[in-house]
Amino acid sequence: MKVLLIEDEKTLAYEVEAFLKKAFYICDMAHTARKGLEMLGVNPYDFVLLDLGLPDLDGLKVLQEAKKLNPDAAYIILTARGNIEDRIVGLDLGADDYLPKPFSLLELQSRMQAISRRKFNLNTQEIPLGEFIIDLQKRVVSHQSNEIDLTRKEFDLLSYLLLHKNRVLTRMQLSEHIWGTFADDDYDSNYIDVHIKNIRKKLGAFGQVEWLETVRGVGYKIRK
């Protein structure tokens, strides 16, 4: 997957690049809108991550131009403006998603994965996990032919852990993903643990769940 990151804040751009490379994306960077459009004219990209607050051109105009040059790419808008209007206009202009700054890199990857599933129909829909099969599209977990009934939040939690498998996710990261801005600031509370306990209990009734690990003092991870 080829990604173009158009972001004038270089330090931020390097962090995003480093993260995406680790997640096996090929990442190009442009620090100005003009450079970005130039690169879009030459190379085909699967993803364009576009900062709206670029110094040389209006971000929404850049989006329009970029869509003409590279209509097949998936566009994710990154912005610190956080205006609801920006978001609506951005999505109207054909952006696939919108991430307000500051964003979590894990969240960015999760959004990119979701777009991949939706837009490119890539990524196998059904992911095996131990004795279980997880269908991200239909949002179902099954064991052999039995569908296991998880709540919406339990499923979100499981799929987020699965997406970032082999990586420890902290309770804070998990709750931020699930509750967004409504995540409670009281991180030491145990509601993530309650959800994990429920997931283990529900899945444990059918098979082994040792792949879902508790990392003491840190959080949880799925080992695969």
Partner 1 sequence: MKLISKLTLFITLSKLAIVLLFVLTLPYLIEGIARNYTDYYLQQQQKKVLEVVARNGVETYLQGEESYGSYTMLKEEYISLEPVEKGFVLDTIYTDERIIEQDTLNYRVLTHSFITENGTYLMEVGKTIETIDQYKRPLQRIATYVLLGLILLTLIIDLFYTRFLLRPLDRIIRTKISNKRFPFNENSVPIKTTTTDFRFLDDSLISLMEQIHEAFEKEREFTANASHELMTPIGILQNKIENLMGEPEVSDFVQERLIGMQKTLNRLKRIVHSLLLISRIENEQFSKKESVSAAELFADVMDEISHRFNERDISLKIDISSEVILENINRDLLFQMIYNLVNNAIRYNKPSGFIHIADRINPDGSYDVDLIDSGIGIPEEDIGTIFNRFKKANKSEDGAGYGLGLSIVKSIADYHHISISVDSDISQGTTFTISFPAELIRS
Contact residues for partner 1 (CB under 8 A)?
Answer: 9, 11-12, 15-16, 18-19, 22, 80-85, 101-106, 153, 167-168, 170, 172-173, 176, 179, 181-182, 184-191, 194-195, 217-219
| Closest distance to partner 1 from the beta carbon of 216 (Å) | 8
Estimate to the nearest angstrom the gap between the alpha carbon of 101 and the chain centroid: 14
Of 31 and 195, the one with the shorter C-beta distance to partner 1 is 195
Q: How far, CA to CA in Å, does 200 sit from each of 56, 136, 155, 207?
A: 51, 18, 12, 10
| Closest distance to partner 1 from the beta carbon of 89 (Å) | 14
Of 119 and 167, the one with the shorter C-beta distance to partner 1 is 167
Q: What is the DSSP string of 52-115?
A: S--SSS-HHHHHHHHHHH-TTSEEEEEES---HHHHHHHHHTT-SEEEESS--HHHHHHHHHHH
Residues forming beta bridges with residue 48, ordered by sequence position: 4, 75
Cβ 48 vs Cβ 6: under 8 Å:
yes
> How many whole angstroms separate alpha carbon 54 and alpha carbon 33?
6
A 10 A CB-CB count for 182 gives 8
Of 71 and 102, the one with the shorter C-beta distance to partner 1 is 102
| Closest distance to partner 1 from the beta carbon of 127 (Å) | 20
N residues, the chain: 224
| Closest distance to partner 1 from the beta carbon of 207 (Å) | 26
| Closest distance to partner 1 from the beta carbon of 191 (Å) | 4
> How many whole angstroms separate alpha carbon 105 and alpha carbon 176?
12
Of 76 and 106, the one with the shorter C-beta distance to partner 1 is 106
Of 22 and 68, the one with the shorter C-beta distance to partner 1 is 22
